[in-house]
Amino acid sequence: MGILNINLNGLELKNPIMTASGTYGYASEYNDFIDVSKLGAVVTKAISLHPRAGNKHLRITETRAGMINSIGLENVGIEKFIEIKLPELQKNNIDFVMNVAGSTLDEYIQVAKICNDNNIKAIELNVSCPNVKAGCLEFGTDENSLFELVSKVRAVYDGFLIVKLTPNVTSIEKLGLAAQKAGANAISAINTLKGTSIKIDFIKGKFHKTIVQGGYSGIGIKPVAVGAVSRLAKAINIPIIGMGGIETLDDVLEFFAAGAEAVQIGTANFTHPETAEKLINELEEFITKNGFKDLNELKRELRA
């Protein structure tokens, strides 16, 4: 066992540094930058029952402290994922979690069944994407709907089940408890905040506006994310995977202090694709240099 190894309620990872869904493609896209197999896990793009073309309008805009995206869950669909992407992940020995999205309860269940039949060991239910017209967020903002969804997925899927929660609710604790009671093995938090960017140009005496509405992510949401993780840690007793604005080792330690057992790197991947590997190295060096036995001891001291 290495000093960074963790056991997330039964899911063994070589380290606690993961990459967030939607920011790392299907993993092979980053092979030119780092050794992806060194990561604790890659969370894939959201995979739906059928292929999705995504949104047609402007999809991404930068902000002063992050970005707003409205991709619309573009993906190849579960059949193509199993046929093309899964063999690549297995061939390259990449630990991964498959993010699952659906427009209806039945779509989530069908995808989960296919994952179970193909021995995909971990999935992350996307119930918190604000960029689609149906599904996802509507399941993640109501505790009864979430309980029903997670329960029915749990009934057909034997692997490790993560539920990704939205911050766009009054009480994220109630959603976490609903997911836990329904059989989730872990919670990941948080997904993006709802945001709007309006770029204004004044040309030849007239205003021209470019509007992007979607999910706001990046360093600006970190205090919201840390707060959500901290509240969840007091309410539930399954592991929490924290995310939201993580760029540095200090950010990682902050999430650990709040109660996260692992973290996901998101927006930082776009500007510095080596971020996740860099943080793995820095975390191991910090533990060794400062005399901690392992990651668990570091977490205990951070939470003391």
Q: C-alpha angle 147/148/154, rounded to 5°?
A: 85
**DSSP letters spanning 109-174:** HHHHHHHHHTT--EEEEE---TTSSSSTHHHHS-HHHHHHHHHHHHHH--SEEEEEPPS-SS-HHH
Contacts of 222 (CB under 8 A, 6+ apart): 244, 245, 246, 251, 254
- Which single residue is written with the structure tokens 């992510």? 217
Where do the H-state alpha helices sit in the chain? Answer: 78-80, 86-91, 105-117, 137-140, 143-156, 172-182, 222-235, 249-258, 268-271, 275-289, 295-303
Rounded Cα distance, 189 and 199, in Å? 29
Checking DSSP bridges between strand 206-217 and strand 66-69, what pairing results, if any?
A: antiparallel
DSSP 8-state secondary structure symbol assigned to residue 63: E
Enumerate the active-site residues: 129
Start-to-end CA distance of the chain, whole Å, equals 24
